Chains A and B, each alone.
Chain A
Amino acid sequence: MFEDLRDLYQEVIFDHNRNPRNFRVMENANRRVDGFNPLCGDKLTLFLKIDDHVISDASFQGSGCAISTASVSLMTEIVKGKTEAEADTLFKQFHEMTTGKTEDINLEAIGKLAVLAGVREYPARVKCATLAWHTLDAALKNQQEAVSTEE
């Protein structure tokens, strides 16, 4: 029935929506940033533990649509063990993939995150996917203020 949406709602997205990974408060986090999408009311809190420029742990709390939940869940999985610089590169690649600025994205580098490439065709939903990553970007820059998609 929803054939047209198969690129947007891949099974991985349903899976992460049903069972978000790293969905917990992190007591010993040393970075904590809130992200908010006022248009749809998506809210998340991202927790990172960074030791020696390496993200040793990542988790989140909050509520949002399937796209935003899957995006942040996948992100926490993939950035764990990455250096800050590597995570920053991923942020940039993810941003390019979802906003469609580059045709030749290195899908290998971006790995599992490629399941979110479908949002490119749904301008109204791009921010759902990028909220997590903008929040990560703020956390990497050690910003304290909440991130909003509408600034």
Chain B
Amino acid sequence: MTTFPIEQIRADFPILGEKIRNKPLVYLDNAASCQKPQAVIDSIVHTYSHEYANIHRGVHTLSVKATDKFEGAREKVRAFINAASTKEIIFVRGATEAINLVAQSYGKSKLKAGDEIVISAMEHHANIVPWQMLCQQIGTVLKVAPMNQKGELLFDEFEKLLNGNTKLVAITHMSNALGSINPVEKIIAVAHAKNIPVLLDGAQAIPHMAVDVQALDCDFYVFSGHKLYGPSGTGVLYGKQALLEAMPPYQGGGDMIRSVTFDKTDYAGLPQKFEAGTPAIAEIIGLGAAIDYVSVVGMDNIAAYEAELLAYATEQALQIKGLNIIGQAAEKGGILSFTLEHIHPHDIGTMLDSLGIAIRAGHHCAMPVMDFYGVPATARASFAMYNTRQEIDVLMQGIKSLIEVFG
């Protein structure tokens, strides 16, 4: 822990110097969205100040420069998740759009009525609703693998759901409501043994651990740039090239075509086939800057540092009488979801906010998870590489004080 350059990192995030309600900001809502380092902010300012034009469209210098930078960001993403080719990196608006793309393109073209899609009980609505929409459209069937009280996937139950009708597994790498990290290697192994492709929702996992899509051998991996210290409006769909080649376009428009006449359109090759219209150019270049930033810190260092933070927070939280941790999986990322006896999470959220502490109070877009635990909502503190033990102390003191006030 001593070797982790926390002071330097904090200094790189200008917003961490803000005061909220006259108190130093303690930002613990990272699972919703992360703050941005100066390098990302500078990147966006630089693009708009010096290198901005539309991409893939002009012979003029600026367009060429912007295209180079944009494609440079694609290469950075490729290297970051170790994809085999930049053709496998599709830029989208976020994890949500990536899953919708797979549902509407892969799902609609490859699946048919009666085919089964397996998800888990801990999914974000983004990995539930697109599949439900597909089921309504074409008659596929959604199956939900259960979890235990700790928030761990019941692997045997999951495996039992895989049968001859199962045509896709779509499961979260790490749960946003509970922090549980799923045994994705094992999941992929048993699914592939039955020739079932696997989509991993990496929205939460990507900022917290090194991800190697080839080592995992997942078929699709999706994530959002804004949770990886990058700009909002950016996201990535990774897909194995052979799968992406065989999929029809998701949206039609400019940039995704090779030639258009009123009779017929030839689609562009990968990755442009899935990137209709002008993308978030400066933001995606900024996502490249975010990846540079976390790569310098090192994903393994980040994972180790955050694991210590979580262990410390958990230990402190367990000492608070009346505090109930929701989600106690053995394999867990930096998320502390909790409830307090007789105090509603929204009151917790408002009270902590008055102390400068930003947490999330609500259902975390995972209403089925709330139903499972029989709570309307939870309070959730989620950690990033720039959080400190001192901030956790401030949080715990705040929780103790509000328990007293509520009496």
Contacts and interface: CB of A to CB of B under 8 A. Distances in A.
Nearest to A5: B354
Nearest to A63: B376
A64 B344 contact: yes
Contacts of B345: 40, 65
Interface residues of A, number: 23
Given A63-B376, A65-B344, A66-B406, A1 B350 contact: no
Interface string B324-359: 000000000000000000011111001100110000
Given A40-B344, A41-B370, A64-B344, A2 B376 contact: no
A72 interface: no
A134 interface: no
Interface in B364-407: 370, 375-377, 401-402, 405-407
A107 B170 CA distance: 55
A66 B343 CA distance: 7
B362 A2 contact: no
B344 A43 contact: no
A2 B346 contact: no
Given A1-B401, A5-B350, A122-B350, A40 B361 contact: yes
Interface in A1-21: 1-2, 4-5, 8-9, 14, 17-18
Nearest to A43: B376
B363 interface: yes
A125 interface: yes
A62 B370 CA distance: 16
B21 interface: yes
Nearest to A8: B350
Given A1-B401, A41-B370, A67 B347 contact: yes
A77 B405 CA distance: 24
B15 to A, nearest CB: 20
Interface string A23-52: 000000000000000011111000000000
Contacts of A128: 346
Interface in B8-33: 21
A66 B377 CA distance: 14
A120 B347 CA distance: 16
B401 A40 contact: no
Nearest to B376: A41
A41 B402 CA distance: 21
Contacts of A2: 351, 354-355, 401-402, 405
A4 B402 CA distance: 13
Interface string B123-153: 0000000000000000000000000000000
A127 B376 CA distance: 16
Interface in A45-95: 63-67
A76 B347 CA distance: 22
Contact of B354 (A4, A14, A41): A4
A64 B346 CA distance: 9
Contacts of A18: 407
A41 B377 contact: yes
B234 to A, nearest CB: 26
Contacts of A17: 406
B354 A65 contact: no
A4 B354 CA distance: 7
Contacts of A40: 344-346, 361-362, 376-377
Nearest to B400: A1
A39 B362 contact: yes
Contact of B346 (A1, A14, A65): A65
A66 B344 contact: yes
A41 B376 CA distance: 5
A65 to B, nearest CB: 4
Interface in B54-95: none
Contact of A66 (B347, B354, B375, B376): B347
**Residue from the set A43, A63, A65, A128 with the largest chain B CB neighbour count within 10 Å:** A65
A113 to B, nearest CB: 19
A41 B373 CA distance: 13
**Residue from the set B347, B375, B401 with the largest chain A CB neighbour count within 10 Å:** B347
Nearest to A13: B347
B362 A14 contact: no
A9 B347 CA distance: 9
Contacts of B370: 41
Contacts of B362: 39-41
Interface in B312-326: none
A138 B362 CA distance: 26
Interface in A89-117: none
B406 A14 contact: yes
Given A43-B376, A125-B350, 14 more contacts: A2-B355, A2-B405, A5-B350, A5-B354, A14-B407, A17-B406, A41-B363, A41-B376, A63-B344, A65-B345, A66-B344, A67-B346, A67-B347, A124-B350
10 contacts: A2-B401, A2-B402, A4-B354, A5-B354, A14-B407, A40-B362, A41-B377, A43-B376, A63-B344, A65-B345
User: What 6 A-B pairs have minimum CB-CB distances, sorted nearest first?
Assistant: A41-B376, A65-B344, A65-B346, A4-B354, A41-B377, A1-B401
